Structure 1
Amino acid sequence: MTLEQILDLLRSRPEFAANITHWEEIEPRPARWAAFPAQVHPRLRDALKQKGIQQLYSHQAEAFQAVAEGKNVVVVTPTASGKTLAYNLPVLNQILRDPESRALYLFPTKALSQDQLAELHQLIELMEADIRTYTFDGDTPVAARKAIRLSGHVVITNPDMLHQGILPHHTIWLKLFENLKFVVIDEIHHYRGVFGSHLANLIRRLRRICTFYGSNPQFVCCSATIANPDQLAQELIGAPVTLIDRNGAPRGRKHFVFYNPPVVNRQLGIRRSVVNEVSRLSRLFLEARVQSIVFARSRVRVEILTRYLREQATRLHIRRDQVRGYRGGYLPLERRAIERGLKRGEILSVVSTNALELGIDIGQLDVAILAGFPGSIASTWQQAGRAGRRSTTSLALLVASSAPLDQFIINHPEYFFQRSP
């Protein structure tokens, strides 16, 4: 059974249709292409063509051009729209033309750092270039740190390590700070509130040290769709930025369904358990062998749902290892194996906390089920964006809990869909 057939089946079932408060259908959109800018190094262009990239999306070309003009940029496009290439392209191009150039990448999590390292390594190997790229975080062996300081062209780290392991020891990072051309800050929508103010102060320290060593790096920021990305980026880096938000990536048809479980106690306003409802709905997709991701609000809920779905899988004669949980606390090797399994299509269903909400490359799945409102509109779109290949139909299903915020969102869909994240 295909996803389209499952959607038709759900529409026709009175017990499901009675609990739908809103069904939004987002139309597909074709890609907008742009030729490689003339400044792109031939080796980089050839490597991209080996990966099957014959042209750039319009926002990637626009970002490259703005960076080439010496501007700080913030790229704001949806999940899986090729933001990574928007910053890798100018960085690698600069290092190919000037091997002394250096770049610093900041990611909010170590998992995302490892994912981006693999992406960069693949491109560098195709170019057959001597561009040394390393992660520098708490897991980096002490023996490797000296080599990273002396010879790393691209240093991938996180704000905590920049604060504790790099800036206080800037005298031994001389090579980096004297030649720093780019600072890339990914997932800037993650840096809000107190965490955002900490990062803003950290970036100001970084800029003072760069000035001391005679460098003036450009900033390339990336964000999910939020209401004020240019304002946020300017506050974080303390300098003007150019906003690039015209997405050129294609999009398949997307169904976004709001589902409110039936009431079981009208006096107390209690509805059927969100965990049980998600487990019941997930069975449909498991049965049809449709790849899905379930987002849960807590680690405990992840483990409970994983157990329930594995029991369902056993009854459907599906191997238990095709249903996996994913959260902080798992060993790094175990998390990498799950990410690979999702990307290759070996895992049918994964239950995750918001650990998979950020841009870790797990391929594009067919269905995203949100077990409760994630807490913000931006996070909801991020999680929903995990479903949707570039040419096929996808489904995002928000299942509400009895919590007041969930009930407000599920009963006022116009607040969600007509409001910028």
Structure 2
Amino acid sequence: MEALMHKKNLTAFLKTLQLLPGEITACKTMPAQEAEFGPWPQINPQLTNALKELGIKELYLHQTKAIDMALAKKNVVVVTPTASGKTLCYNIPVIHSILENHSSRALYIFPTKALSQDQLAEINAITNKIDMPISTCTYDGDTPPDIRTKVRAAGHVVVTNPDMLHIGILPHHTKWIKLFENLRYVVIDELHTYKGVFGSHMSNVIRRLKRVCSFYGSNPTFILCSATISNPAELAEGLIENHVELITNNSAPRAEKHVLIYNPP
């Protein structure tokens, strides 16, 4: 009966569009999906309390898998749809590492400034609930000189972009000793943007980053994310030149969707 009602509703909706016969060439219904939750990860109690204050009382299974792998120092690439909670897959292990060792550092790389600002707000929402001071800062072309000095000296989480990493950070690594000596995590979001020629350039930047980290005695774990890509493990491993663990099973809830292919007259 429920399936029949869905079909009637869809037929009624198509009629309201006043389409001519044959204009809809295909119609597929994607069923709804219930959320699947995983066990709470073994993280610092302050972080657990901060998340619960924000209303995050359970984590999806793909989140717990990614977090556990990152905490175990395994490189991981998470490929799940938009709004499936990928941000927590790297914010939780990063904040946990800082709470466990206040000298710990993380580097977030985003392709655009707008994404950087969004992610900065996400991590600040969590760190503002924690008593320990955790400095999260953007470092790009608009960062004033006096702020740049503070970021180099005390930035726990440095949010930047590929160009700034290549031009403003790596050539001046002697000014970033605290970052490179204590770099625990490197987060690369929007993995699908690093394809083709741009991807080959980015691969060389990451190779240089790893060489500088090795010089200062650190070996960071890479956490990579994307929502739209067909060969994530291959691209991720080509980018960082190391093995990655792949997580693609989305365990976030999903409403029923109707997908139509429309052929206009």
Please classify the TM superposition score into its range, dividing by the shorter chain length: over 0.9
Could you state the TM-score of these two structures normalised by the residue count of structure 1? 0.59
Q: What are the equivalent positions in structure 2 for 1:156-305 lying under 5 Å apart?
A: 156-262=159-265
Matched, 1:33 2:37: yes
Residue of structure 1 equivalent to 2:94: 91
Secondary structure of 1:24 counterpart: strand
Tell me, in whole angstroms, the C-alpha distance in 2 between the residues paired with 1:163 and 1:82. 29
Alpha-carbon distance in 1 for matches of 2:125, 2:158: 16
CA-to-aligned-CA distance 1:262-287 (integer Å, 9 cap, x gap): 1xxxxxxxxxxxxxxxxxxxxxxxxx
CA gap of 1:143–1:5, structure 2 versus 1, over 3 A, is farther
**Against the structure 1 CA distance between its residues 14 and 44, is the aligned structure 2 distance closer, same or farther, given a 3 Å change threshold?**
closer
Q: Displacement of 1:248 after TM fit? A: 1.2
Pair 1:242–1:15, CA change in 2 (3 A): same
Relative distance call for 1:5 and 1:169 in structure 2 (3 A) is farther
Q: Tell me the CA shift for residue 190 of structure 1.
A: 1.1
Question: Counterpart of 2:26?
Answer: 22
Cα gap change, 1:176 to 1:26, in 2 (>3 Å): same
Higher relative contact order (CA 8 A, sep 6+): 2
How far is 1:247 from its partner? 1.3
Does the CA contact (< 8 Å) of 1:60 and 1:82 recur in 2?
Answer: yes
User: Which of 139, 143, 154 is the aligned partner of 1:140?
Assistant: 143
Tell me how far apart the structure 1 counterparts of residues 249 and 24 of structure 2 sit (CA, whole Å).
Answer: 32
Aligned to 2:131: 128
- Listed one character per residue, the Cα deviations across residues 183-230 of structure 1 (whole Å, up to 9, x for unaligned) are 000010111111111110100000000000111101000112422111
Aligned length: 258
CA distance in 1, matches of 2:49, 2:100: 15
Root-mean-square deviation (CA), in Å? 1.7
**If the length of structure 2 is used for normalisation, what is the TM-score?**
0.93
One-letter amino acid matched to 1:125: N
Query: Helix, strand or coil for the counterpart of 2:137?
Result: strand
Distance 1:9 1:86 in 2: 41
**Alignment CA distance shift 1:200-1:42 (3 Å):** same
1:114 is aligned to 2:117 = yes
Q: Percent of aligned pairs with the same residue?
A: 55
Q: CA–CA distance in 2 between the matches of 1:33 and 1:58?
A: 5
Shift of 1:103: 0.2
1:7 Cα offset (Å): 5.3
Q: Distance in 2 between matches of 1:59 and 1:77?
A: 9
- The one-letter code of the counterpart of 2:261 is F
In 1, distance between residues paired with 2:186 and 2:34?
32
Query: In the TM superposition, what is the alpha-carbon distance from 1:128 to its structure 2 partner?
Result: 2.9
Work out the CA distance in 1 between the residues paired with 2:156 and 2:128: 15
Give unpaired runs (5+ residues) of structure 2. Answer: 1-6
Local SS of the residue matching 2:128 = helix
Structure 1 gap segments, 5+ residues each: 263-421
Aligned partner letter, 1:203: I
Question: Aligned equivalents of 1:206 and 1:245: distance in 2?
Answer: 27
